[in-house]
Amino acid sequence: MLTATLALIFIPACVYFVCDYDKSLQGLSLMNKIGASFFQVISPRTAGFNLVAIPKMSDASKFMTVFLMFVGAGTGSTGVCVKVTVFSIMVFSVISYFKRSQDVNIFNRKIEDKTIKKVFSSATIYLSLAVVGIFLLSVFEDTSVFDNIFEVFSALGTVGLTTGITTTLHPISKIILMILMFCGRVGS
């Protein structure tokens, strides 16, 4: 949990700093750019606050934010989404598969098969909800698919971030997002 959390803070912060140095971070001092980079990658997994305008972010940073909203918070937290431990088990399961190993081991501890099945089932339900939500928003809205993706993952993660389209959405789309928020809060 701690190792994955540190990786999910430092690696995305460096990516965000590089990708948005002259975009959403433009005009800030170097120290403020570094601080904003860390804030912008921690927030989508926990609180949903932002220091910079989401529409000004680079597409790479927006995509990374969607990924961070997908992963979400730690297991013991009240944050929702897939959770850090679930994501970690998924990653180590894939690594184990490529190594052609029979067992999934994390730091010399074997992960039980029933836990792996539960992890992948949970993530599949979560992603299925996201796909349906993205499709439905695409049916009712004349917005970019990427904006729809961002809004759906923000709703499922109960994050509260937006690319700026939420207020202009059709009432049916708002209801879809509310249902996704409820589903995200209850958990897959």
- Per residue in 159-187, pLDDT tens? 889 999 999 999 999 999 999 999 988 87
Q: Which residues sit opposite 106 in a β-bridge?
A: 109
Taking the C-alpha atoms of residue 114 and residue 170, their distance in angstroms, rounded to an integer, is 42
Which stretch of 43-52, 99-108, 111-120 has the lowest confidence by average pLDDT? 43-52
User: What beta strand segments (E) does 42-176 contain?
Assistant: 104-106, 109-111
One-character DSSP codes across 22-50:
TTTTTTS-HHHHHHHHHHHHHGGGTT---
**Dihedral pair phi/psi, residue 26, rounded to 5°:** -60, 135
What is the pLDDT at residue 113? 92
The whole-model pTM stands at 0.89
24 touches 62 (CB < 8 A): no
pLDDT, position 73: 78
Which two tokens mark 19? 């990708």
Q: Would the pLDDT of 32 be above 60?
A: yes
Res 1: pLDDT? 79
Cβ of 50: how many Cβ atoms within 10 Å? 19
pLDDT at 72: 83
Task: Report the alpha-carbon distance of residue 183 to residue 104 in Å, rounded.
Answer: 29
Across the chain, what does the average pLDDT equal?
90
- The confidence score (pLDDT) of residue 94 equals 94
- Rounded Cα distance, 46 and 78, in Å: 9
Q: What average pLDDT score do residues 122-131 get?
A: 94
At 31, which amino acid appears? M
Which pLDDT value is given to residue 78?
A: 64
Spell 112-121 as b/e; 16+ CB within 10 A means b: eeeebeebee
Q: Residue 188's pLDDT band (boundaries 50, 70, 90)?
A: low
Render pLDDT for 53-92 as a digit per residue (tens, 0 to 9).
Answer: 888 999 999 999 999 999 987 776 766 678 888 899 999 9
